[in-house]
Structure 1
Amino acid sequence: MGPATFPHDLVQAQRDWFAVCEALAAPRPHATAALRRRLMRLSARVWGHPFWSSGRGRSPAARVELRRLVRSQQREGAGTP
Protein backbone atom coordinates (compact mmCIF):
# COMPACT_ATOMS: atom_id res chain seq x y z
CA MET A 1 0.00 0.00 0.00
CA GLY A 2 1.36 3.43 -0.91
CA PRO A 3 1.47 6.25 1.58
CA ALA A 4 -2.03 7.35 2.51
CA THR A 5 -3.07 10.89 3.15
CA PHE A 6 -5.10 10.84 6.34
CA PRO A 7 -7.49 13.60 7.39
CA HIS A 8 -6.01 15.90 10.04
CA ASP A 9 -8.81 15.20 12.53
CA LEU A 10 -8.24 11.45 12.25
CA VAL A 11 -4.48 11.82 12.82
CA GLN A 12 -5.13 14.08 15.82
CA ALA A 13 -7.64 11.63 17.31
CA GLN A 14 -5.11 8.78 16.97
CA ARG A 15 -2.41 10.98 18.54
CA ASP A 16 -4.74 11.79 21.46
CA TRP A 17 -5.63 8.10 21.79
CA PHE A 18 -1.95 7.19 22.22
CA ALA A 19 -1.52 9.98 24.78
CA VAL A 20 -4.44 8.73 26.87
CA CYS A 21 -3.12 5.15 26.73
CA GLU A 22 0.26 6.38 27.95
CA ALA A 23 -1.41 8.32 30.77
CA LEU A 24 -3.31 5.19 31.83
CA ALA A 25 -0.10 3.15 31.74
CA ALA A 26 1.64 5.50 34.18
CA PRO A 27 2.60 3.92 37.53
CA ARG A 28 -0.13 5.77 39.44
CA PRO A 29 -2.52 7.36 36.98
CA HIS A 30 -4.86 10.04 38.24
CA ALA A 31 -8.51 10.29 37.24
CA THR A 32 -8.56 6.85 35.66
CA ALA A 33 -12.33 6.88 35.17
CA ALA A 34 -12.12 10.13 33.19
CA LEU A 35 -9.19 8.79 31.17
CA ARG A 36 -11.08 5.61 30.34
CA ARG A 37 -14.13 7.60 29.23
CA ARG A 38 -11.90 9.76 27.05
CA LEU A 39 -10.27 6.65 25.59
CA MET A 40 -13.69 5.25 24.70
CA ARG A 41 -14.73 8.50 22.99
CA LEU A 42 -11.46 8.65 21.06
CA SER A 43 -11.78 4.99 20.06
CA ALA A 44 -15.22 5.68 18.65
CA ARG A 45 -13.91 8.76 16.82
CA VAL A 46 -10.98 6.87 15.27
CA TRP A 47 -12.78 3.64 14.38
CA GLY A 48 -15.97 5.36 13.22
CA HIS A 49 -14.28 8.03 11.09
CA PRO A 50 -15.76 8.41 7.59
CA PHE A 51 -12.27 7.98 6.08
CA TRP A 52 -12.53 4.23 6.64
CA SER A 53 -15.54 4.12 4.29
CA SER A 54 -13.62 5.80 1.49
CA GLY A 55 -11.69 3.84 -1.12
CA ARG A 56 -8.32 4.70 0.44
CA GLY A 57 -9.41 3.64 3.92
CA ARG A 58 -11.03 0.30 3.16
CA SER A 59 -7.82 -1.68 3.46
CA PRO A 60 -6.89 -3.03 6.92
CA ALA A 61 -3.35 -1.89 6.11
CA ALA A 62 -4.59 1.72 6.22
CA ARG A 63 -5.33 1.40 9.95
CA VAL A 64 -1.84 0.06 10.56
CA GLU A 65 -0.37 2.85 8.46
CA LEU A 66 -2.21 5.46 10.53
CA ARG A 67 -0.73 4.09 13.76
CA ARG A 68 2.75 3.94 12.20
CA LEU A 69 2.44 7.50 10.93
CA VAL A 70 1.43 8.88 14.32
CA ARG A 71 4.14 6.91 16.15
CA SER A 72 6.81 8.16 13.74
CA GLN A 73 5.58 11.74 14.20
CA GLN A 74 5.76 11.30 17.96
CA ARG A 75 9.33 9.97 17.73
CA GLU A 76 10.38 12.85 15.49
CA GLY A 77 8.76 15.36 17.83
CA ALA A 78 10.42 13.85 20.88
CA GLY A 79 13.83 14.09 19.25
CA THR A 80 13.64 17.82 18.67
CA PRO A 81 14.37 20.30 21.46
Structure 2
Amino acid sequence: MTPIRFPDDLLDLQAAWLRTYADLARSPAHAGTTPLRRRLITLSCAIAAHPFWTVPGRSTATRVELRRRARTRTWATAA
Protein backbone atom coordinates (compact mmCIF):
# COMPACT_ATOMS: atom_id res chain seq x y z
CA MET A 1 0.00 0.00 0.00
CA THR A 2 1.37 3.40 -1.00
CA PRO A 3 1.59 5.90 1.86
CA ILE A 4 -0.84 8.78 1.55
CA ARG A 5 0.77 12.17 1.04
CA PHE A 6 -1.40 14.87 2.56
CA PRO A 7 -0.84 18.51 1.60
CA ASP A 8 0.61 20.59 4.43
CA ASP A 9 -2.30 23.03 4.37
CA LEU A 10 -4.79 20.17 4.83
CA LEU A 11 -2.79 18.81 7.76
CA ASP A 12 -2.69 22.31 9.24
CA LEU A 13 -6.47 22.65 8.90
CA GLN A 14 -7.04 19.30 10.59
CA ALA A 15 -4.59 20.14 13.39
CA ALA A 16 -6.40 23.46 13.95
CA TRP A 17 -9.71 21.56 14.05
CA LEU A 18 -8.32 19.19 16.71
CA ARG A 19 -6.99 22.08 18.82
CA THR A 20 -10.29 23.96 18.56
CA TYR A 21 -12.26 20.84 19.49
CA ALA A 22 -10.02 20.32 22.54
CA ASP A 23 -10.52 23.96 23.56
CA LEU A 24 -14.27 23.53 23.25
CA ALA A 25 -14.19 20.33 25.32
CA ARG A 26 -12.29 22.13 28.09
CA SER A 27 -14.71 25.07 28.17
CA PRO A 28 -17.25 25.18 30.99
CA ALA A 29 -20.86 24.71 29.94
CA HIS A 30 -21.76 28.28 30.92
CA ALA A 31 -18.85 29.82 29.00
CA GLY A 32 -19.50 31.52 25.68
CA THR A 33 -18.54 28.76 23.27
CA THR A 34 -20.14 30.21 20.16
CA PRO A 35 -16.83 31.42 18.64
CA LEU A 36 -15.28 27.97 19.09
CA ARG A 37 -18.32 26.26 17.58
CA ARG A 38 -18.25 28.64 14.62
CA ARG A 39 -14.55 27.99 14.13
CA LEU A 40 -15.18 24.24 14.11
CA ILE A 41 -17.83 24.68 11.43
CA THR A 42 -15.53 26.87 9.34
CA LEU A 43 -12.64 24.42 9.66
CA SER A 44 -14.90 21.44 8.91
CA CYS A 45 -16.08 23.12 5.71
CA ALA A 46 -12.53 23.99 4.67
CA ILE A 47 -11.38 20.40 5.25
CA ALA A 48 -14.32 18.89 3.38
CA ALA A 49 -13.95 21.28 0.42
CA HIS A 50 -10.17 20.87 0.09
CA PRO A 51 -9.08 19.90 -3.46
CA PHE A 52 -7.31 16.82 -2.05
CA TRP A 53 -10.68 15.06 -1.79
CA THR A 54 -11.45 15.46 -5.52
CA VAL A 55 -9.06 12.63 -6.43
CA PRO A 56 -10.96 9.37 -6.96
CA GLY A 57 -10.36 6.70 -4.36
CA ARG A 58 -10.30 8.90 -1.28
CA SER A 59 -12.22 7.05 1.41
CA THR A 60 -13.28 7.24 5.01
CA ALA A 61 -10.04 5.47 5.88
CA THR A 62 -8.15 8.33 4.25
CA ARG A 63 -9.98 10.82 6.48
CA VAL A 64 -9.14 8.72 9.54
CA GLU A 65 -5.48 8.70 8.51
CA LEU A 66 -5.59 12.50 8.09
CA ARG A 67 -6.85 12.89 11.66
CA ARG A 68 -4.22 10.47 12.98
CA ARG A 69 -1.37 12.33 11.27
CA ALA A 70 -2.68 15.74 12.30
CA ARG A 71 -2.95 14.52 15.90
CA THR A 72 0.66 13.32 15.76
CA ARG A 73 1.72 16.66 14.30
CA THR A 74 -0.22 18.57 16.96
CA TRP A 75 1.38 16.60 19.80
CA ALA A 76 4.85 17.02 18.29
CA THR A 77 4.52 20.81 18.14
CA ALA A 78 3.07 20.97 21.67
CA ALA A 79 6.03 19.09 23.17
Normalising by the smaller structure, the TM-score range is 0.7 to 0.9
- Runs of 4+ with deviation above 6 angstroms: none
Structure 1 spans left out of the alignment, 5+ residues? none
Q: Which residue of 1 aligns with 2:77?
A: 77
The residue aligned with 1:28 is: 28
Q: Map Cα deviations across residues 31-61 of structure 1 (whole Å, 9 max, x no partner).
A: 4111111110000001111101114x62222
Segments of 5+ residues of structure 2 without an aligned counterpart are none
Greater RCO between the two (CA within 8 Å, min separation 6)? Answer: 2
Identity %: 44
Q: How many residue pairs end up in the alignment?
A: 78
Q: What's the C-alpha RMSD, in Å, of the aligned pairs?
A: 1.9
Compute the TM-score of the two structures, normalised by the length of structure 1: 0.80
TM-score by length of 2: 0.82
Deviation at residue 26 of structure 1 after TM alignment: 0.5
